[in-house]
Amino acid sequence: MYYRIISVLMLSVFTLLSSCKTKSTTSSIEKKTASNQKQPNLIIIHTDEHNFRTLSCYQKLLPEEQAFVWGKGSNSKTPNIDKLADEGAISTSYYCSSPVCTPSRASLVTGLYPQATGAPKNGLHIRENIPTFATILRDRGYSTSYVGKWHLAGHEKYTFGIKYKAGFDDNRFMMRGGHAPYFHIKNGKIKGIGDREAAKLPPEEVVHLTDFFTNKTLEILERDKDKPFAVMLSIPDPHTPDVAKPPYNKLYADLKFEAPKTMAPEYVAIKPSWATDKGKNETIGKKSFENDKKALIDYLGMVSHIDDSVGRILDFLEDNKLTENTIVVFTSDHGDMFFEHNRRNKGVPYEASARIPFVIRYPDKIPAGKVINTAYTNVDFAPTILSLMGVNTDVKFHGFDTSEDFINNNKEVNSDRITYYAKSGGWWVTAVNDRYKLVIDKNETPYLFDLEKDPDELINFYKDPAYKGIAKMMQTELFKQLEKYDEPGLKHSKPYKLK
């Protein structure tokens, strides 16, 4: 718990008031220049398949065994993203609406659950008749731009020229999809390529995707710095194929990695069916971990590459006196299991898959060093960010305006709010608050996790008599929300009768 002690002397107040009366107009002009305009700017830095544990600002808040699931001290460091958290707020219970790219991204931009966006599964197109936060900001006079992976306009890779802009007037660098580490750019043509092919080409023809999209974002910021702007940078990393560019590919090579605790055979044997995948996402035993350590080294390297890119953007804001009046958000579409529970990638209710990083800085309104433990999903993002920006709208969202949690003076925000997320297209649904998680699947007895007592998500407390009240509360609220938002998972799941 954080505490703030405020002490004000009458003499100090008198002195302050006196100085305000005599302060020169030059000072107020400088302040206006720093803010640039009354309307706040917005920058969203959005990554893909990003395990929240790899941000050191989260590691600082986690118990050691949770911060370093791959061995003591074995994790990446992210000083620039940490700076956002230190100077703003960090959310410890932020979840995606569905732990898959397309539905999660659709929820972020619309404030709706995936079933209402036209894009509840990967590769689908977002509906063109629903507002996004970008259409609302554009109509308020903002210069709106999108750079990077979109994945809301089909499955094509490394292609641009997307007709429907979803409110982002400048979408020249909005890419349909793809995760090749490098672009080969020659004669105005762009092609996604792997690291081996990149090594054979002239260096001036090759650029890493993270660098390419960060460079384009900085060009747009330079162009728009004297007017209200909203820019979303969607970096395709640290998604598979897990290839970091030099020197990031060697940055963490000397760490002593260990298999996560939840890979142990005794835990694998008791996994629920919704956690089992006999395909490419399943890893079998510690031998698999040993064979794939390089992927983890590259993954952490990609995270550091992203962090350095965040630093470049923060430097731009500082150099142009835009820091105070610019909201900077760092988040992702979903996580990456990276060997926990013998899994890779995403698509399951576990924390490493469904919980996402969410860090926000807005010096003008958000107190520094704020920690928010209340459970949110990225369905809450659009109404919250618009409210923080002082934008009123009649648009109806599924998500809540949670801006008061960010701007109040409490250094730590707690509540037992229950929200939910679900598997793309239905089958399992999950209720969650800042401590408990209830997973209901039509093929399983419900699973109730106590994330405080059992952060590894190994114990099912659902039938424990001591948790009967918690289970009933979570279940009742879950099905109320499933019905309210016409969640497809309601058709596949049904309330389990507590005895």
Residue partners of 39: CB distance under 8 A and separation at least 6: 140, 141, 142, 228, 389, 390
pLDDT digits (tens, 9 = 90+) for 441-499: 988 899 999 999 999 999 999 999 999 999 999 999 999 999 999 998 777 666 666 54
Cβ–Cβ < 8 Å for 482, 490: yes
DSSP symbol at 333: S
Where along the chain do the CATH 3.40.720.10 domains lie? Answer: 38-415
pLDDT (mean) for 69-75: 97
DSSP symbol at 43: E
Instruction: Give the integer Cα–Cα distance in Å for 480 and 478.
Output: 5
pLDDT (mean) for 279-296: 77
Cβ–Cβ < 8 Å for 51, 335: yes
Cβ–Cβ < 8 Å for 238, 48: yes
Where along the chain do the CATH 3.30.1120.10 domains lie? Answer: 427-499
The hierarchical CATH code for the domain 427-499 is 3.30.1120.10
Instruction: Give the integer Cα–Cα distance in Å for 217 and 359.
Output: 19
β-pairing, 89-91 vs 370-372, is parallel
The dihedral region occupied by 487, where left means phi > 0, alpha psi between -120 and 50, and beta the remainder, is: beta
Question: What's the Cα-to-Cα distance from 156 to each of 47, 125, 146, 176, 179, rounded to whole Å?
Answer: 19, 12, 17, 6, 11
- Percent of the chain with pLDDT strictly greater than 90: 82
Return the pLDDT at 390.
97
Could you tell me which CATH class the domain 38-415 is placed in?
A: alpha beta
Return the pLDDT at 1.
32
Return the pLDDT at 443.
82
pLDDT (mean) for 116-145: 97
Band the pLDDT of 277: cuts 50, 70, 90: confident
Band the pLDDT of 7: cuts 50, 70, 90: very low
Q: What would the two tokens of residue 457 be?
A: 């998500």
Return the pLDDT at 265.
86
Is residue 436 predicted with pLDDT exceeding 80? yes
Return the pLDDT at 283.
66
pLDDT digits (tens, 9 = 90+) for 297-313: 999 999 999 999 999 99
Type of residue found at 392: N
Is residue 54 predicted with pLDDT exceeding 50? yes
Band the pLDDT of 158: cuts 50, 70, 90: very high
Return the pLDDT at 4.
31
Return the pLDDT at 435.
98
Return the pLDDT at 488.
87
Question: What's the Cα-to-Cα distance from 365 to each of 2, 69, 221, 387, 409, rounded to whole Å?
Answer: 18, 35, 22, 12, 10
Question: What's the Cα-to-Cα distance from 17 to each of 8, 24, 131, 272, 343, rounded to whole Å?
Answer: 13, 14, 45, 65, 61
Is residue 295 predicted with pLDDT exceeding 80? yes
pLDDT digits (tens, 9 = 90+) for 335-390: 999 999 999 999 999 999 999 999 999 999 999 999 999 999 999 999 999 999 99
Return the pLDDT at 5.
29
Band the pLDDT of 181: cuts 50, 70, 90: very high
Cβ–Cβ < 8 Å for 272, 457: no
pLDDT (mean) for 92-108: 98
pLDDT (mean) for 318-347: 96
